[in-house]
Amino acid sequence: MVMSLRVSELQVLLGYAGRNKHGRKHELLTKALQLLRPGCSPAVHLKIKELYRRRFPAKLMQHTELSHHQVTAKLMQHTELSHHQVTAKLMAQADMSHHQFDDLLTRIGARISYQDTNYRRSIPAEERLSICLRFLATGDSYRTIAGSFRAGISTVSMLIPDVVAAIWDCLVEEFMAVPGAEEWR
Please determine, for residue 112, whether its predicted confidence score (pLDDT) is greater than 90: yes
What one-letter code names the amino acid at 5?
L
User: Looking at beta carbons, which pairs linking 147-153 to residues 24 or more positions away fall under 8 Å?
Assistant: 148/73, 148/74, 148/75, 149/68, 149/73, 149/74, 149/75, 149/76, 150/65, 150/66, 150/67, 150/68, 150/71, 150/72, 150/73, 150/74, 151/66, 151/68, 151/73, 151/123, 152/66
What span, in angstroms and rounded, lies between the C-alpha atoms of 147 and 151?
Answer: 7
pLDDT at 47: 73
In which band, very low, low, confident or very high, does the pLDDT at 174 lie, cut at 50, 70 and 90? confident
pLDDT confidence of residue 55: 61
- φ/ψ of 105, rounded to 5, equals -65, -40
Higher pLDDT: 147 or 180? It is: 147
| pLDDT, tens digit, 9 for 90 and up, residues 18-42 | 454 555 556 666 666 666 666 667 7
Q: What is the pTM of this model?
A: 0.53
Determine the pLDDT at residue 161. Answer: 96
Dump strand ranges (E) for 27-102. Answer: none
Q: Are 72 and 79 in contact (CB under 8 A)?
A: yes
Q: For 53-94, what is each residue's pLDDT tens digit? A: 666 555 555 555 545 444 444 444 443 444 445 456 677 777
- Using the predicted structure, report yes or no on whether residue 160 has a pLDDT greater than 80: yes
